[in-house]
Every structure is written in structure tokens, then in C-alpha cells.
Copies of this chain bind each other. A is one copy, B any other.
């Protein structure tokens, strides 16, 4: 969560400008800069339709080192063909030239409307100011500049030590469309001053993403532009972490990404509730994950959350079509501590009323015990509201 002092991290600077890519005139271009070449690790969309900046950044992180991220909102630079890829490449080159570094050291991320070519005049005009205003305190502004339908900037921090030497992790994210996250671009940039080998960094990032960004609402599918980038510049001055210290670092990364992921759900388009869907007693890990995702993704379950209605019949219906091992008469369901279903049967109005009370909270748990085995999983989701429809019916107008 955001602390009182403005967030900074050793050896990193940032800046943000209004280049004119957003029709609103808000800031829409952000730059993150590492004074030293940083170890870099990235996780990208699994969508077959990949935006130009995704293709370019995948190419640029192959070296294992990076120094800058330029990120824009207002235009996704997706479905833009060769011209789009050329524009992403040119953006990296413009930033590199202005910073006096190599184009391959610049990573590019975009979010916004799909299918329109970038206004390269606007980007070109803005880069000198972007580089000229870089400062250690610019991270907050940069976090704002990458927002699209987000209603607040998302920042999270962690501090750990390696052999007594303190290091820091600072994560910034954008994302708000949680009904179909595969279409609501999620960008996350994590900056750290830890000294760490690239292979260890890759493993830690992959583990942290698995239990955080891959467990918020729905189906793990991603948009054309999704990207998690982690840069570690080594300026903490620590020696290489031992296995336990790497575990602590992975926990720190997981905490930062977990907080950002939860903020994204809380800021879900039109969302009024954050719901933790927990599956217990599944026969296999795959069943546990599938059950959690199918329930968390059901429009009817999500509208019932909005209506604060413990409509467990819809939950049973979702479980029944999930393709998992289940027995109707073995299912138990709770809202927080209130058990509303026992062995597949409702426990009556009294418990439903108690559960409805719990559902008035901004955050609650839906717990489902399948009683088929020992596997568990959980997905964080939000409710489906009138506001969601408004935002998405009007998005481009």
C-alpha cells in the first residue's frame, strides 16, 4: 500500500507527460529508468494476438539486461501489423537516443484502444520532456500515467535483507476490467535494488505471478498487451542470496504482486465487492483451480454477489458444469463463517439471511468444500454491476 512519503527506490527514476495519446488530455506516457543495467525478467500474455510492444519487449529482454521501460496509455498498439511493430521499435530508439543507451535496453508497454496506429508525432514530441523530467520521486506520477479505466494508481512495496543488507521491491500496476481480464490489459512493473542472478529472478517471478496475477478473476487468459516486467539493478550492494534468502525474496515479490492483484480486483470496472472464492476438498489440483475459476467467472454468480443474494443454486449449477469430479450431495458452501449448504442441501432461510448480512461487506469469502479429496485453490473476483455495462458499452465513444 502507498505509504506517506513518495515512493522511491535506489537507482531508479521515473517521469510522466501528457503526450496527447489520451483524448482526455491526461498524462499518458511514462518512463522508468535504471541508472545501471538491471537484470530483467518478464511474463507476457498467452493470447495468440500479441500487441507490437509485447513482441518487441520479448525480443529485448532476451539479453537479460534492461535500463528503461516506456509505457503509454490511450493506445494498445495491437492489431496494427508491421507498421505497429515499426512504431514500437522507433519508440524504443527515440528513448534510447535521448537517454544515450542502446535501443535493446529499452522495453515498451502499451495499453488502450486496439487497432489504431500510434500517434508517433505525439510520442516523438514528448520523449525529450519525458527524459528531461526524470526524477527519483517521479514514480507516483508514472503510476498515474499508465491508468486507463483505473480509478486509483496501484503501488505496493516490500523490504527484505540478504546477509543483513537491506533491499527493496516496489511494484506498480494498472488494470481494472475484471470480468474478462483477458481483455482488460494488466501492466505491472516491479523495480528492485536487489543483486540477483537472472535465472533466480526468472524463477521467483514465475512463482509469484502464478499465485497472484494468475489467480485473479476468471480464466488466466490474458489480453493482447498483458505484461509483468521485473528489473533488479543490484544497487542494494548485497551478495548473491542463498536459497532461503531467495525464498524470502520470492515471498516479497508475491506479497507485492498479491497486493497489486487485489487492488486490480477492487478497482474492477464497476465493481462494488471483492470476493475470495476458495475451493477445498477437490480431487485434484486441476479440479480445485477449475472449480474456483468457473464459479468466479459465472455472470449469474457475480450478479448475485452484486445483489447481496446468497443464491447457492447458481453456485451448484456452475460446479455442475465445470467438468470436475463432484457429487451434488457432498458439497458444503459457506459465506465467510456462515454455512448455507450442507451435503448439497440448503440449510434454510435463517442461514441465508445471516449470509446476506455478510455479503454487505466490501470483501467476503465464498468457501466451497467438494469433499472429494485434499486439493485446494482460490481465485479473487468481483461482482458484475450496472456500472460495468456502462463502462464497456461506452469505452470507445
> What are 11 A-B contacts with C-beta separation under 8 Å?
A48-B319, A48-B326, A81-B345, A115-B346, A180-B300, A222-B321, A299-B299, A299-B392, A307-B394, A311-B396, A388-B389
A residues 287-327 in Cβ contact with B at 8 Å: 298-300, 303-304, 306-307, 309, 311-314, 316-321, 326
Contacts A79-B328, A224-B316, A388-B389 given; indicate if A396 touches B309 (C-beta within 8 A): yes
A101 within 8 A of B: no
Given contacts A79-B344, A81-B345, A311-B396, could you give 4 more A-B pairs where the C-beta distance is less than 8 Å?
A: A80-B345, A114-B312, A182-B321, A389-B389
A240 within 8 A of B: no
Interface residues in chain A, defined as those with a beta carbon under 8 Å from any beta carbon in chain B: 46-50, 76, 78-81, 113-116, 177, 179-180, 182-183, 221-224, 298-300, 303-304, 306-307, 309, 311-314, 316-321, 326, 328-329, 341, 343-346, 384-386, 388-390, 392-397
Asked whether B389 lies within 8 Å of A320 as measured between CB atoms, the reply is no
A390 to nearest B CB, angstroms? 7
**Copies of this protein chain in the complex:** 2
Residues of B within 8 A of A46 (CB): 321
Residues of B within 8 A of A386 (CB): 386, 389-390
Asked whether A299 lies within 8 Å of B180 as measured between CB atoms, the reply is yes
Residues of B within 8 A of A298 (CB): 180, 183
